[in-house]
Structure 1
Amino acid sequence: MVSEGHTIGLHTYSHQYNQLYGSVKALLADEDKAFQTIYAASGVSPTVFRFPGGSINRYTGVGYQPFIAEMLRRGFVYYDWNVTADTTSP
């Protein structure tokens, strides 16, 4: 994929909303695991990510700004959508 010019980004390792959004520390630990896995497999250091469920979702009990701020502080760019459709619910 990389040799074809595709960008590899993060979207967490586990994708378990309730665990990820329990705290900023939990999200960062999961993102770090995803980062290391991608780097080990590809040699690529991802710089983009997308929050599972979007940056604004019902799982971020402490509010979404701390999650966004920390990922931006670490040099990541996040991609999101601009429609709230709650399509992640079964």
Structure 2
Amino acid sequence: MNRIVREHYPVEKLPEDLREGLPAGRKVTVTLEEEGVDEEGLSERLAAILANPRPMTIDQARALAGNRSTSTEEAVTRIRSLRDEWDQ
């Protein structure tokens, strides 16, 4: 889940509709969370997979994990950059 937290954020910097009812000069904590992410369901599916491991194809594993919105190319690039940082 994508989550952004800003503590001690000045009320004056908030958009007008969020400032409504808050006294000026105060600080607030702002938390933003992405909607529509079923992290609990994902955790349950992963726990079930780990509890009953069995051989499966990559396509079967992807189907169980669900859409991760990362392309194969992005994943390969991330892995290579992590691997290559140890070579420097």
TM-score (norm 1): 0.26
Structure (1 or 2) with the greater helix fraction: 2
Q: Which has the higher strand share?
A: 2
